[in-house]
């Protein structure tokens, strides 16, 4: 309830502010993500992280250029690509130059195409696309363009890092891959098969299946198959209720091996697993939360929790988006012409709060950073998720993961 | 062989859970002649109430209190909502329950938010009851089986062996006559509605920890409950039981074994096209049983409606 009230207040505030603030001293960033519907929890939490990052990292330290302040303007896209395009137009009409979006690669694909088209037709008010979460590899390969920058590790990079760790574990002989039946689930499965085949041809893939997304009531029959296949490890790209359902089912029915996931944390999932997930549940992601990489990261997280006691920093990369954008604007010396800003972002190297180096690759605008395999645990966790006492602890790290991975991107620069 | 036994148990658990939902729904249907679209929403309310109570008083008090609250809520809905709408006919009643389902989902999201709740099985039952060939059967599942069977026997006993049950049965078929004999039929209806929703509440309480407590849980189970009572025969308790178990076992077995359509077609004497990706029948050939597991009950329902319109054990047309 508190969430929805604060959301209402936040939207009302941003609306009223955006209606009056025509002065040039605010730099607006449009946040286009689901703020209502089934994925609103994730969207609202992301919005809070953006607002907090802009406030703390930029505005509180004097802003950019000559004291220009960042302002996050929220747009609800209801996780629909169609709605996102409408919101994008509204944002552009309001004179906003920076578009941040992350939830759903389907939306990101629609946005990147629309922004590319818009920028070609309207050279006077071009915009930049700051993709902080959509991990479909195509966005920085076949569908790449000069205006799109991805701050998360894409699905292939994550799988590359994950299989590095799995390849080093000799006890893994049989792997079961299970996922949701749609583009992302298929991408995860294909990447897993490819990388495991390259790195550990001796590993047998004993199962590779997709289940209907969001429709499975009880995962027990799938669990029985996994057990019958005597899998040593499970890989899944599941998220939301499907993640909890699958995870709890395998753990309750006697599976003790590692369960490698992409999204089994925060937004209630960490609390739902609780004690059952300890020892098995692993998660591949960027952004080291535990142990805190340095005092600055710890102080930042504490300040965030003080402001949003029910929130989680579940997308650490958001601070990288804000910091790198501020740096690029300062380097370019302008906040209105996005071409020099994009050139400044290209190839930019930066030290993240979370203790990793960052490099925005020129060739495809895919950021390269440390990718961690986290363990779900309550031991040694400084900052828990969902106030549950459980959180993610870095298990192993792949430094600058997939820095030399190939890309099929043919960037056309203005 | 071992796996068959394990799947039999898993299917039994799924089936019995479904039974607890469909038992209430089928009673309510035979009484009011109207499908209660909000039935699965009461199941969700049961889970959420029990979760909230379990935070303060533990799981067992949740199991005791939550169904009572849900039952009282259900009775209230009948008394102050459905009874008023009833006079306008069946369509307004349907729309009323449909709206109620949407309303309950929104209210749940408003109060508890959209995330999954950390509702888990009680510590006492967090052990493995026994394992069959490495497949653990959690004690909680055994507990679910016993609770459901106890409820079935209890219901059957009340409906067939007690005076109250006889009046209910009479009121279901000849309400006017029963009323003329001096019984308060509206009160009986309210009671049956309350008990039916309370049963859904019990199902929610015990299913919440294993199937997850989240705002979509009613939606996931909603349609399959209707299928169950249509297959079993509207208004028949035994029918609901048979249909629930049938559906439980069909879906469990078809998910647990990768039966391929390819094998079936070849066994039937068809020849697999050489270039399968160009064939118009490509999707049919590549079908596997887990993919269609969740629509099998619907296929069964269609067949039942064609060949036996009053269901397996029902007495009147669907």
ipTM for the whole complex: 0.78
A38 in contact with chain B, both atoms CB, cutoff 8 A: yes
Cα A334 to Cα A26, A150, A183, A327, B317: the distances in Å are 12, 22, 39, 11, 75
Q: What is the mean pLDDT of residues A150-158?
A: 93
Residues A248 and A189 reside in one and the same domain: yes
Length of chain A: 414
- Tell me which residue has tokens 């689930």: A185
For residue B19, the distance in angstroms to the closest alpha carbon of chain A comes to: 15
Closest-CA residue of chain B to A253: B136
| Structure confidence at residue B75 (pLDDT) | 95
Q: Say if residues A319 and A288 touch (Cβ distance below 8 Å).
A: no
| Structure confidence at residue A346 (pLDDT) | 93
Judging contacts by C-beta atoms under 8 Å, the chain A residues touching residue B293 are 221
H or E element, residue A225: helix A220-228
Residue A154 has pLDDT above 70, yes or no: yes
CATH number at residue A10: 3.40.50.2300
What is the band of A311 on the pLDDT scale with cuts at 50, 70, 90?
Answer: confident
What is the band of A23 on the pLDDT scale with cuts at 50, 70, 90?
Answer: very low
Contact A388/B118, CB-based, under 8 Å?
yes
Judging contacts by C-beta atoms under 8 Å, the chain A residues touching residue B256 are 221-222, 224-225
Would you call the peptide bond into B210 cis, given omega within 30 degrees of 0 as the criterion?
Answer: no
| Structure confidence at residue A239 (pLDDT) | 85
For residue A222, the distance in angstroms to the closest alpha carbon of chain B comes to: 6
Q: What is the mean pLDDT of residues B191-211?
A: 92
Residue A384 has pLDDT above 90, yes or no: yes
- Distance, CA of A195 to CA of A268 (rounded, Å): 31
Contact B118/A386, CB-based, under 8 Å?
yes
What is the band of A15 on the pLDDT scale with cuts at 50, 70, 90?
Answer: very low
Residues A223 and A344 reside in one and the same domain: no
Residues 6+ apart with CB under 8 A from A65: A329, A330, A333, A334, A335
Q: Which residue has the higher pLDDT, B275 or B116?
A: B116
Contact A388/B110, CB-based, under 8 Å?
no
| Structure confidence at residue A361 (pLDDT) | 94
Give pLDDT tens digits for A332-358. 999 989 999 999 999 999 999 999 999
- Distance, CA of B140 to CA of A289 (rounded, Å): 35
Judging contacts by C-beta atoms under 8 Å, the chain A residues touching residue B291 are 212
Residue B268 has pLDDT above 70, yes or no: yes
Q: Say if residues A137 and A187 touch (Cβ distance below 8 Å).
A: yes
Contact B256/A267, CB-based, under 8 Å?
no
A163 lies in which domain range? Answer: 156-289+371-398
Count of the separate structural domains present in chain A: 2
Residue B318 has pLDDT above 50, yes or no: no
Q: What is the phi/psi pair of residue A62, to 5°?
A: 100, 5
Residues A171 and A52 reside in one and the same domain: no
Percent of chain B with pLDDT over 90: 44
| Structure confidence at residue A44 (pLDDT) | 87
Length of chain B: 318
Residue A363 in any domain: the answer is no
Contact B3/A228, CB-based, under 8 Å?
yes
For residue A224, the distance in angstroms to the closest alpha carbon of chain B comes to: 7
H or E element, residue B270: none
| Least confident segment among A28-32, A186-190, B221-225, B314-318 | B314-318
Percent of chain A with pLDDT over 90: 65
Cα A80 to Cα A38, A50, B145: the distances in Å are 12, 21, 42
Contact A388/B113, CB-based, under 8 Å?
no
User: Which of left, alpha, beta for B113 (phi over 0: left; psi -120 to 50: alpha)?
Assistant: left
Judging contacts by C-beta atoms under 8 Å, the chain B residues touching residue A249 are 210
Closest-CA residue of chain B to A266: B115
* Mean pLDDT, chain A, whole residue set: 89
Contact A227/B211, CB-based, under 8 Å?
no
Residues A63 and A178 reside in one and the same domain: no
Contact B135/A253, CB-based, under 8 Å?
yes
Contact B221/A217, CB-based, under 8 Å?
yes
Among A8, A40, A272, most B C-beta atoms within 10 A, so best to mutate, is: A272
Q: What is the mean pLDDT of residues B185-195?
A: 90
Cα B126 to Cα A3, B137, B139, B141: the distances in Å are 33, 11, 7, 10
Closest-CA residue of chain B to A215: B220
In this complex, which of B118, B135, B215 lies closest to A271 when CB atoms are compared?
B118
Residue A193 has pLDDT above 50, yes or no: yes
Q: How far apart are the first and last CA of chain A?
A: 47
Among A206, A218, A240, A386, most B C-beta atoms within 10 A, so best to mutate, is: A218
Give pLDDT tens digits for B3-39. 888 889 999 999 999 999 998 898 888 777 778 899 9
Residue A209 in any domain: the answer is yes
- Which segments of A35-173 are extended strands (E)? 69-76, 98-101, 128-131, 148-150
- Distance, CA of A369 to CA of B105 (rounded, Å): 41
A269 in contact with chain B, both atoms CB, cutoff 8 A: yes
Give pLDDT tens digits for B283-292. 777 788 888 8
Domain residue ranges of chain B, discontinuous segments joined by +: 2-217
Closest-CA residue of chain A to B223: A215
Residues A87 and A39 reside in one and the same domain: yes
Give the closest residue to A288 by CA, choosing from A296, A278, A276.
Answer: A296
Residues A126 and A181 reside in one and the same domain: no
| Structure confidence at residue A302 (pLDDT) | 94
| Structure confidence at residue B1 (pLDDT) | 66
Residues A383 and A241 reside in one and the same domain: yes
Contact A211/B290, CB-based, under 8 Å?
yes
What is the band of A187 on the pLDDT scale with cuts at 50, 70, 90?
Answer: confident
Burial label for B261, CB within 10 Å (0-12, 13-18, 19+), is middle
Percent of chain B with pLDDT over 70: 98
Residue B301 has pLDDT above 90, yes or no: yes
Give the closest residue to A83 by CA, choosing from A120, A32, A37.
Answer: A32
Residues A328 and A261 reside in one and the same domain: no
Q: Say if residues A75 and A45 touch (Cβ distance below 8 Å).
A: no
Percent of chain A with pLDDT over 70: 94
Residue A17 has pLDDT above 70, yes or no: no
| Structure confidence at residue B201 (pLDDT) | 95
A350 in contact with chain B, both atoms CB, cutoff 8 A: no
| Structure confidence at residue A6 (pLDDT) | 53
Give pLDDT tens digits for B147-183. 999 998 998 899 889 998 888 888 877 878 888 998 8
- Tell me which residue has tokens 């998720």: A385
| Least confident segment among A165-174, B52-61, B207-216 | B207-216
Residue A10 has pLDDT above 70, yes or no: no
Judging contacts by C-beta atoms under 8 Å, the chain B residues touching residue A216 are 294
Contact A1/B214, CB-based, under 8 Å?
no
What is the band of A306 on the pLDDT scale with cuts at 50, 70, 90?
Answer: very high
- Tell me which residue has tokens 């078929």: B173
CA atoms within 13 A on the CB side of B317: 2
Residue A157 has pLDDT above 90, yes or no: yes
What is the band of A19 on the pLDDT scale with cuts at 50, 70, 90?
Answer: very low
Q: What is the mean pLDDT of residues B293-302?
A: 91
For residue B149, the distance in angstroms to the closest alpha carbon of chain A comes to: 20
Residues A253 and A337 reside in one and the same domain: no
Contact A227/B215, CB-based, under 8 Å?
no
* Mean pLDDT, chain B, whole residue set: 88
Contact B117/A268, CB-based, under 8 Å?
yes
Q: Say if residues A127 and A97 touch (Cβ distance below 8 Å).
A: yes
Residues of B with CB under 8 A from a CB of A: 3, 6-7, 10, 13-14, 110-111, 113-120, 128, 131, 134-138, 140, 210-212, 214-216, 220-221, 224, 251-253, 255-256, 258, 290-291, 293-294
What is the band of B47 on the pLDDT scale with cuts at 50, 70, 90?
Answer: very high
Contact B120/A271, CB-based, under 8 Å?
no
Contact B135/A254, CB-based, under 8 Å?
yes
Q: Say if residues B18 and B149 touch (Cβ distance below 8 Å).
A: no
Q: Say if residues A283 and A261 touch (Cβ distance below 8 Å).
A: yes
Contact B118/A276, CB-based, under 8 Å?
no
- Distance, CA of B10 to CA of A41 (rounded, Å): 33
Residues A124 and A239 reside in one and the same domain: no
A291 in contact with chain B, both atoms CB, cutoff 8 A: no
Residue A312 in any domain: the answer is no
Question: Is the whole model's pTM more than 0.90, yes or no?
Answer: no
Residue B117 has pLDDT above 80, yes or no: yes
Residues A269 and A213 reside in one and the same domain: yes
- Distance, CA of B276 to CA of B295 (rounded, Å): 25
For residue A230, the distance in angstroms to the closest alpha carbon of chain B comes to: 9
Residues A52 and A171 reside in one and the same domain: no
| Least confident segment among A222-231, A305-314, B88-97, B113-122 | B113-122
Contact B212/A221, CB-based, under 8 Å?
no
Contact B118/A272, CB-based, under 8 Å?
yes
């Amino acid at each position: 309830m508190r969430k929805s009230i604060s959301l209402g207040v936040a939207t009302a505030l941003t609306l009223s502010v955006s209606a009056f603030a025509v002065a040039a001293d605010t730099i607006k960033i449009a946040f286009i993500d689901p703020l209502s519907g089934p994925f609103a929890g994730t969207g609202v939490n992301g919005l809070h992280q953006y607002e907090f990052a802009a406030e703390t990292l930029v505005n509180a330290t004097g802003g950019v250029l000559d004291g220009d302040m960042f302002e996050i303007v929220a747009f609800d896209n209801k996780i629909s690509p169609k709605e996102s395009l409408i919101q994008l137009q509204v944002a552009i009409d309001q004179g906003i130059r920076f578009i941040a979006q992350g939830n759903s690669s389907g939306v990101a694909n629609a946005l990147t195409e629309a922004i590319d088209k818009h920028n070609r037709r309207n050279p006077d008010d071009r915009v930049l696309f700051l993709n902080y979460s959509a991990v479909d590899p195509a966005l920085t390969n076949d569908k790449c363009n000069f205006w799109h920058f991805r701050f998360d590790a894409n699905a292939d990079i994550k799988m590359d890092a994950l299989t590095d760790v799995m390849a080093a574990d000799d006890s893994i002989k049989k792997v079961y891959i299970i996922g949701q039946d749609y583009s992302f689930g298929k991408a995860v499965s294909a990447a897993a098969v490819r990388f495991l085949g390259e790195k550990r041809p001796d590993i047998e893939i004993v199962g590779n299946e997709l289940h209907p997304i969001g429709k499975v009531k009880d995962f027990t029959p799938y669990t029985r198959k996994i057990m019958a296949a005597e899998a040593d490890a499970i890989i899944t790209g599941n998220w939301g209720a499907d993640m909890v359902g699958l995870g709890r089912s395998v753990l309750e029915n006697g599976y003790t091996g590692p369960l490698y996931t992409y999204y089994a944390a925060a937004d209630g999932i960490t609390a739902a697993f609780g004690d059952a997930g300890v020892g098995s549940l692993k998660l591949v992601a960027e952004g080291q939360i535990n142990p805190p990489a340095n005092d600055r990261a710890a102080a930042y997280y504490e300040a965030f929790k003080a402001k949003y006691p029910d929130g989680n920093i579940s997308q650490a990369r958001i601070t990288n988006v804000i910091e790198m954008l501020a740096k690029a604007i300062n380097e370019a010396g302008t906040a209105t012409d996005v071409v020099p800003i994009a050139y400044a972002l290209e190839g930019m190297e930066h030290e993240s709060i979370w203790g990793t180096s960052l490099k925005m690759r020129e060739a495809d605008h895919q950021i390269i950073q440390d990718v961690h395999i986290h363990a779900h645990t309550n031991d040694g966790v400084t900052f828990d998720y969902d106030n549950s006492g459980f959180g993610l602890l870095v298990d192993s790290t792949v430094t600058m993961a997939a820095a030399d991975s190939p890309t099929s991107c043919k960037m056309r620069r203005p | 062989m071992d796996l068959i036994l394990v799947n039999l148990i898993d299917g039994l658990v799924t089936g019995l859970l479904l039974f607890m939902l469909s038992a209430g729904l089928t009673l309510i249907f035979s009484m009011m002649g109207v499908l209660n679209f909000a039935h699965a929403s009461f199941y969700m309310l049961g889970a959420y109430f029990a979760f909230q109570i379990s935070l303060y008083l533990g799981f067992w008090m949740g199991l005791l209190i939550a169904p009572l609250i849900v039952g009282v809520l259900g009775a209230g809905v009948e008394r102050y909502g459905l009874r008023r709408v009833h006079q306008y006919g069946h369509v307004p009643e349907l729309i009323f329950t449909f709206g109620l389902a949407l309303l309950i989902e929104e209210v749940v999201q408003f109060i508890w938010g959209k995330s999954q709740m950390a509702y888990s099985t009680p510590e006492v039952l967090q052990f493995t009851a026994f394992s069959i060939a490495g497949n653990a059967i959690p004690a909680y599942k055994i507990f679910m089986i016993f609770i459901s069977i106890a409820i079935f026997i209890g219901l059957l006993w009340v409906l067939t062996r007690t005076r109250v049950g006889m009046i209910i049965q009479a009121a279901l078929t000849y309400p006017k006559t029963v009323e003329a004999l001096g019984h308060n039929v509206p009160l009986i209806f309210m009671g049956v509605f309350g008990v039916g929703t309370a049963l859904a509440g019990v199902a929610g309480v015990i299913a919440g920890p294993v199937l997850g407590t989240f705002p979509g849980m009613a939606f996931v189970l909603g349609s399959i409950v209707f299928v169950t009572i249509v297959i079993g025969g509207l208004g028949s308790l035994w029918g609901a039981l048979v249909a629930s178990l049938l559906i439980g076992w069909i879906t469990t077995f078809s998910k647990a074994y990768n039966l391929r359509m390819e094998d079936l077609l070849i066994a039937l004497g068809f020849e697999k096209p050489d270039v399968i990706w160009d064939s118009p029948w490509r999707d049919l050939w590549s079908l596997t049983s887990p993919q269609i597991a969740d629509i099998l009950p619907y296929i069964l329902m269609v067949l039942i409606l064609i060949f036996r319109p009053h269901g397996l054990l029902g007495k009147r047309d669907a």
